[in-house]
Structure 1
Amino acid sequence: MSARVDRIVTSGVFALDGGEWEVDNNVWIVGDDSECLVIDAPHEADAIAAAVGGRTVTAIACTHAHNDHINAAVELASYVGAPILLNPADQVLWEQVYGSRPPDGTLEDGQELRVAGVSLQVLATPGHAPGAVCFYAPELGALFSGDTLFSGGPGATGRSYSDFPTIISSIRERLLSLPPETVVYTGHGDTTTIGDEAPHLQEWIDRGH
């Protein structure tokens, strides 16, 4: 069976800089009936494991290390026996959740993850977090953008370890050059496409979003 993209939504608390916010997170599961890759592991390990079912999980790939994207990762890994992968530039955020317990492997720009016959290319897209990455699956016409790009604009950059000019550069240089029909599977909220977001880059810059 060919690879597909499944979504579940988990709910919990995003905590940073002394503040807490209730959030709903998208969890993307890429694979077929026998194996899959989990993108982000927020809040509810049991729910994610249930969505995986009996499939082999090749990896838990984290778009970044804000707590609301990784706080179920270690528990999920213990359930499914998969390595947790993270860009090392987000180690400072990882340690806020897990202390000295390291991720199991790294995600580097240009790295390729393969699952169910398709390739996911790792694109380094710092800005929302220093180690933020996106995953581009050309065979699926899909980009998994984490909190770098949403329907309506870039991810937030008003908190520690984030930077607005950097996220704008990441989006301009790494994402908007992808085919316009590419579906963007975001970390929160609705999907969009590269073609829908590309025309608004200057608007985002002008309002310092």
Structure 2
Amino acid sequence: MAYTGEVEVGGPPDVHELTDLIITKAAVGPMDNNAYVLRCRATDEQLLIDAAAEPHTLLEVIGADGIGAVVTTHRHRDHWQALAEVVAATGARTYAGRLDAPALPVPTDVPVDDGDTISFGRIRLTARHLVGHTPGSIVLVYDDPHGHPHVFTGDCLFPGGVGNTHDDPAAFTSLLTGVTAKLFDVLPDESWVYPGHGRDTTLGDERPHLAEWRERGW
């Protein structure tokens, strides 16, 4: 079946099969978070983005091959509730944005800065640091050599707007400016967006609304 990105807590994951990479998206409770298991086709090495909750569910999606790394997109608790259990079960190396890493419940092996590369197997992800939702949020960009980019945005970008900036105008301006400069200004419309909650989107679907978001202030 074709990938839709439509998942729900308690339901099956959805799988997006690319030429070099397999992306498995699962929803976990209690806050309907998305977690993503990425598998390099060439080596079968895996990486998890956001050990959000339900460690048993995530470990089932990960499977017997385990994971070599887990990346936490930002410090908010709903994105790391299963982190300690998943790391204990897999021995995975931990990555997180440098400014958010101290708030996580397990030590971060590799603090991540803007432009850093996270590699597993033959896959390379580029981290972009965005300030506004939290001080140290990161998004991850996979520039597919056989197609368009794929972007894992945590809580920085969703269908319909940027992430929650808690009615702070400076934080909102920072986040929208960062998303515009580091994603919309440099990536094509076809770029697929995998957010931390809810359904997927593309940069092309969201690009026409940037001015509207700035005007409304959220």
Normalised by the length of structure 2, the TM-score is 0.83
8 Å contact from structure 1 (residues 74, 84) kept in 2: no
Which residue is 1:147 aligned to? 155
The 1-side partners of 2:131 and 2:51 are apart by 19
- Answer with 78-87 or 128-137: which moved more: 78-87
Counterpart of 1:121 (choices 116, 123, 126) is 126
Which residue is 1:57 aligned to? 67
Identity across matched positions, percent:
32
Counterpart of 1:105 (choices 110, 113, 125) is 110
- For residues 56-94 of structure 1, the C-alpha deviation after alignment (integer angstroms, 9 at most, x for no partner) is 412100111100001111110011110221112114543
Q: Secondary structure at the match of 2:131?
A: coil
> For 1:126-141, what aligned pairs fall within 5 Å after superposition?
126-139=131-144, 141=149
- For residues 115-145 of structure 1, the C-alpha deviation after alignment (integer angstroms, 9 at most, x for no partner) is 2422110111111110001000011620000
Query: Could you say if the C-alpha distance between residues 159 and 45 of structure 1 is closer, same or farther in structure 2, counting changes exceeding 3 Å?
Result: farther
8 Å contact from structure 2 (residues 50, 71) kept in 1: yes
Residue 104 of structure 2 corresponds to residue 90 of structure 1: no
Report the AA paired with residue 197 of structure 1. E
The 1-side partners of 2:66 and 2:116 are apart by 21
The 1-side partners of 2:58 and 2:40 are apart by 16
The runs of 4+ residues in structure 1 deviating greater than 3 Å are: none
Residue 209 of structure 2 corresponds to residue 191 of structure 1: no
Q: Secondary structure at the match of 1:124?
A: strand
Equivalenced residue count is 193
The 1-side partners of 2:72 and 2:101 are apart by 12
Q: Secondary structure at the match of 2:100?
A: helix
Normalised by the length of structure 1, the TM-score is 0.86
Counterpart of 2:50 (choices 37, 40, 48) is 40
Report the AA paired with residue 132 of structure 1. S
8 Å contact from structure 1 (residues 181, 194) kept in 2: yes
Query: Could you say if the C-alpha distance between residues 109 and 71 of structure 1 is closer, same or farther in structure 2, counting changes exceeding 3 Å?
Result: same
Q: Give 1 or 2: higher helix fraction.
A: 1
Residue 202 of structure 2 corresponds to residue 202 of structure 1: no
Gaps of 5+ in 1: 13-22
